[in-house]
Amino acid sequence: MMMTLGTFVFSLPTLAYQQLQRQMAWRHASSDRITARPANQFLGPGEETIDLSGVIAPQITGQVVSLDVLQAMADAGEPMPLVEGTGRVYGAYVILSLNTTRTLFFKDGAARRIDFTLSLRRVDAPAQARA
């Protein structure tokens, strides 16, 4: 197991990613001052996103149905825990987008290669949002 998003398990038999890109930001407000640099105030964490990208070769590894499962999860719009196989907990995430590119087709139209990118955004758990 490489990682789980909710109940979906990223692995060689299902969907293996080759790249994980994480972007984190912090918010700072500034107020202009006369004859001085702007005053800054730290507001807290900003947006945090993760992009997982990889390739499925359905005849060798990965399952096309895994993309359908992720699409159904995205349609639900619910935050899901993201946990790495090492045990590291990233937090609650929602699916922003799932992009696929199918190439190298068989005669019946089935793709031999499917490149994918899954974009996730971190959200506060309901208890954190109220605090």
The tens digit of pLDDT for each residue in 58-104 reads: 888 778 899 999 999 999 999 999 999 999 999 999 999 999 999 99
Q: With CA atoms as reference, report the closest residue to 50 among 118, 100, 123, 114.
A: 118
Q: Which domain holds residue 76?
A: 3-26+41-130
CATH number of the domain at 60, please: 2.40.30
In a domain, 35, yes or no: no
pLDDT in tens, 16-65: 999 999 999 999 999 999 999 999 999 999 999 999 999 999 888 778 89
Domain count, the chain: 1
In a domain, 15, yes or no: yes
d(C-alpha 24, C-alpha 83), whole Å: 17
Global confidence as pTM:
0.85
Radius of gyration of the chain (CA): 19
In a domain, 31, yes or no: no
Give every strand in the sheet of 19-33, ordered side by side.
8-10, 3-5, 80-84, 89-105, 111-123, 36-56, 19-33
d(C-alpha 38, C-alpha 29), whole Å: 10
